[in-house]
A and B are shown apart, each in its own frame.
Chain A
Amino acid sequence: MALDKNGIAKRIAQELKDGWYVNLGIGIPTLVANYIPEGIEVEFQSENGILGMGPFPFEGEEDPDLINAGKQTITVRNGASFFDSATSFAMIRGQHVQLTVLGAMEVSQNGDIANWKIPGKMVKGMGGAMDLVASAENIIVAMMHSNKAGESKILKACTLPLTGVGCVKKVVTELAVLEIKEGKFHLLERAPGVSVEEIISKTEGEMVVPDFVPEMQL
């Protein structure tokens, strides 16, 4: 069965490594914080100026001066720090943040990503996404395999305006874990109960499929 949003987040959380500083984008990526594997310690960076972001506050304890990059009220953990936006992006551009997890509208087989604009329809802006994808060593994209019309979002080439070029290394969807290398998608894992055939049929980009594709262990 295809994963739900929490399932995607849970699978991505398995990629976290002890001691990493991690930036989580808005949407599914935010849920990754709920599934940190036992025994490892990671610290979350929010580009509006926090290291050491904690969970949502208890009702009545919201502080309007303390929000995350999605403008949600949050808290901080012991050992947190605040800083200005230039310092925040120095952390990101300077590769002091080890992992970026973000959403996408489209991803292509050479690692391009599009997630900020649909010409003529929707223009919200790129926020920090272009800085993040241009600099992060590890970028994992959390997304749905196809759009609401059933068209694949895992493409040979992106059709929407790009956010970054050749930067995505790994994609986790409701159906599969894909790695991007040498200009192709590589099918690493499939969601429990999902067939390789279904993944192939919903992937427009070129994809290398090994003889045996293990199921995700969630």
Chain B
Amino acid sequence: MNKVVKDPSAALEGIQDDMTLMVGGFGLCGIPENSIVQLVKMGVKNLTCISNNAGVDDFGLGLLLQAKQVKKMISSYVGENDEFERQMLSGELEVDLIPQGSLAERCRAGGAGIPAFFTPAGYGTEVAEGKEVRIFNGKPHILESALTADYAIVKAWKGDTEGNLIYKATARNFNPMMAMAGKITIAEVEELVPAGTLDPNHIHTPGIFVQRIFQGDYFEKRIEQRTVRTKQ
């Protein structure tokens, strides 16, 4: 089954105003940067974005915030972004902050056909407000529901024409769960190869979860915090 589309424009066809998108990445690591630029070009508005972070002011999802295309963010950590903070404090942007592990599991559950699950994370905090509490093994847990999206946009290192994906290092992060949870999942990859090239033993995301795949033209891969040590 050939899932290849020629460019970001073909990959993102069908995304409209008011849709819910999942966008992979942790900080600026493993984000689908070509697709984000294309979303800005398309000008789609009132988006709900599910993503661990919100990029920085001038890169990643920060670009969509600058262009005021986002109605609501569902994230776990949104520091490092002044425009985000401004829109949130002024009430222009709805924000649903949820514990990182719950965010990951809610995406996984959405893709795995599990409507909800209990977790201890957030019990006794404002995250638990309005949620069912149950005691398991003497410990309180809160009910968290699954997340799905109209489109999930993920970034992988290598992919093949069947949509099988391999991620590199910590650029994996949320991408595999989001790939599972999109009604339509779009993968942008650094290297697109013919089916049969990648060792099936090494596939992280099986192609069944991916509907469209393309090779990005260019990846800036901006580093958020460059930390080094000096050679003695």
Q: Which residues of A contact B (CB under 8 A)?
A: 46-50, 55-59, 61-74, 82-86, 88-89, 92-93, 112, 120, 123-131, 134-135, 161-166
Contact = CB atoms under 8 A, between A and B. Distances in A.
Contacts of A84: 104, 167, 172-177, 204
A125 B29 CA distance: 18
A130 B172 contact: no
B77 A126 contact: yes
Contacts of A135: 120-121
Contacts of B168: 65
Contacts of B175: 84
Contact of A58 (B97, B102, B125, B228): B228
Nearest 10 interchain pairs by C-beta:
A89-B101, A131-B101, A165-B124, A124-B79, A64-B221, A85-B104, A130-B99, A125-B77, A134-B120, A127-B77
Most-contacted residue by chain B among A85, A120, A123, A125 (CB, 10 A):
A85
Given A83-B172, A123-B88, A124-B78, A67 B224 contact: yes
Contacts of A55: 229
B37 interface: no
Contacts of B174: 84-85
Interface of B: 26-30, 52, 75-80, 85, 88-89, 95, 97, 99-105, 107-108, 119-127, 157, 167-177, 204, 221-231
Contacts of A162: 124-126
Contacts of B176: 84, 86
A210 B140 CA distance: 34
Contact of B100 (A62, A89, A165): A89
B104 A134 contact: no
Nearest to B175: A84
Contact of A123 (B52, B97, B104, B177): B97
Given A71-B29, A84-B172, A85-B52, 20 more contacts: A48-B173, A49-B26, A49-B172, A55-B229, A56-B227, A58-B230, A61-B228, A64-B28, A64-B222, A67-B26, A67-B29, A71-B28, A89-B100, A123-B88, A125-B76, A127-B99, A131-B102, A135-B121, A162-B125, A165-B123
Contacts, number: 178
Contact of B224 (A56, A58, A71, A74): A71
21 contacts: A46-B170, A56-B227, A62-B228, A64-B222, A65-B168, A65-B221, A67-B27, A67-B223, A73-B223, A82-B170, A82-B172, A85-B52, A86-B176, A123-B95, A125-B78, A130-B99, A130-B101, A135-B120, A135-B121, A162-B124, A164-B125
Contact of A128 (B99, B125, B170, B229): B99
A59 B223 CA distance: 13
A128 B27 CA distance: 13
A125 B98 CA distance: 8
B68 to A, nearest CB: 19
A55 to B, nearest CB: 6
Nearest to A69: B26
Nearest to B141: A134
A161 B78 contact: no
A137 to B, nearest CB: 12
Contacts of A46: 170
A87 B171 CA distance: 14
B171 A65 contact: yes
B25 to A, nearest CB: 10
Contacts of A83: 172
B99 A86 contact: no
B28 to A, nearest CB: 7
Contacts of B126: 161-162
